[in-house]
Amino acid sequence: MPCKLLKTISEREYSICLPASYSETDNRTYPVLYLLHGGGTHHTEWEENGRLQTVVDSLVAQGLMEEMIIVCPEANKNNMIWFNAPHWKYEDYFFQELIPYMEQHYKIKAEKRYRGVAGFSMGGGASVVYGVHHPELFTMVFDMSGYLRRQPMEFLKNDPSAEWRQQLVEDCNPIPVILKGTKEEVENWKTVRWFVDCGDKDFTLEANMDLVKAFRQQGIDYEMRVRAGSHDWGYWHTSLEMALTYFSKLLRE
C-alpha cells in the first residue's frame, strides 16, 4: 500500500487473510480484525509461525468463528515500534492511512461493532494502547502477553535502538493513563470489550495483572485468562484461537 506518513517510506507491506466466500462480484461485507505482531517479527509472522490460515479454516469449519477479514500490518521494517516517535509516526500511519486504505480497498464493515484489534507481546501492548487512544473505533481489544511497559531485557542490551524503543513503550504505557482517566474517558473505555490472556510463567504477567487492576479500579469490565505457559508460540497458538472465537462471539451478540 502507498505510505506518506512514515519518513523515507513510499510503500508499506501487509498480509491479509480473506474469507473463503470473499468475492469482488457481490455486495457482502465482513468484520475486520487487525492482528499485530510482536517485537523483532514481521507481518508474515501470523501465517508462518501462527499458522493463521490453518487456524481460521479449522475454526470456520467447526462453526466456532465468523467469516472475517484479518489484516496483519508491518511494524518491524525500518523501526520496530507501533507508536509515534518524533521521526516515526507509526500510530498516525495506522489510523490515518492503514485503516482507511483497508476500508477503501476491501469489503470491510467500517463500523465500531465490526472492528477488533489483537496482538502478541509488543503487538499486544499496542492493541491496548490503540484501544485506549481510540475506543470509538474498536469493539474488542485482545491482549496476548502484552508488552505494556519498560522491562529489563537481556537480549536488548546490545541493540543500539533498544533504549529509544523502551522509552517510547514506557511513554505510551496505558496503565497510568487508565488510572488517571477522566469520567468521560472511562465511560468510553467501557464501550470496548477487553480481554487479557497471559501465561503464568510469562515475564509480562505482572504488567498485565496491573492492567487488570487499573480496569478494576475504574470499574471497566474485562476478561482475563492466566494459563500454563510462557512468552512463546506454544502459548499464542491457543491465544489466537481464543481471540478469533471471542471476537466471533461478540459479532453474534
218-247, pLDDT tens digit by residue?
999 999 999 999 999 999 999 999 999 999
Mean pLDDT of the chain: 95
> Does position 155 have pLDDT exceeding 60, yes or no?
no
Cα–Cα distance, 251 to 35 (Å, whole number) = 17
Cross-strand partners of 35? 118
**Residue 152: per-residue pLDDT:** 73
Domains and CATH numbers, the chain: 14-252 (3.40.50.1820)
In this prediction, residue 80 has a pLDDT band, given cuts at 50, 70 and 90, of confident
**Residue 154: per-residue pLDDT:** 65
**Residue 186: per-residue pLDDT:** 98
Q: Cell match 496483519: residue?
A: 72
37-46, 118-127, 160-169, 207-216, range with the lowest pLDDT? 160-169
Q: Which residues contact 173 (CB under 8 A, 6 or more apart)?
A: 148, 149, 150
Kindly report the backbone phi and psi dihedral angles of residue 111, in degrees, each rounded to the nearest multiple of 5, phi listed first.
-130, 150
In this prediction, residue 125 has a pLDDT band, given cuts at 50, 70 and 90, of very high
DSSP H stretches of helix in the chain:
45-48, 52-61, 90-93, 99-105, 122-133, 162-171, 174-179, 183-189, 205-217, 233-252
**Residue 137: per-residue pLDDT:** 98
**Residue 156: per-residue pLDDT:** 61
**Residue 79: per-residue pLDDT:** 79
Strands annotated E in 4-97: 14-17, 32-36, 69-73, 84-85, 88-89
Q: The pTM is what? A: 0.96
For residues 134-144, average pLDDT:
98
pLDDT tens digits, 47-67: 999 999 999 999 999 999 999
Cα–Cα distance, 159 to 167 (Å, whole number) = 14
pLDDT tens digits, 12-31: 999 999 999 999 899 999 99
**Residue 49: per-residue pLDDT:** 96
Closest by CA position to 17, among listed 30, 2, 28: 30
Q: How far is CA 43 from CA 24, 119, 163, in A?
A: 24, 11, 23
Which cell goes with 132?
Answer: 485506549
88 and 6 Cβ atoms separated by less than 8 Å: yes
> Does position 37 have pLDDT exceeding 90, yes or no?
yes
pLDDT tens digits, 176-196: 999 999 999 999 999 999 999
SS3 call for 33: strand
For residues 134-139, average pLDDT:
98
> Does position 166 have pLDDT exceeding 80, yes or no?
yes
**Residue 159: per-residue pLDDT:** 66
**Residue 160: per-residue pLDDT:** 63
Counting beta carbons within 10 angstroms of the beta carbon of residue 103, is it exposed (0 to 12), middle (13 to 18) or buried (19 or more)?
middle
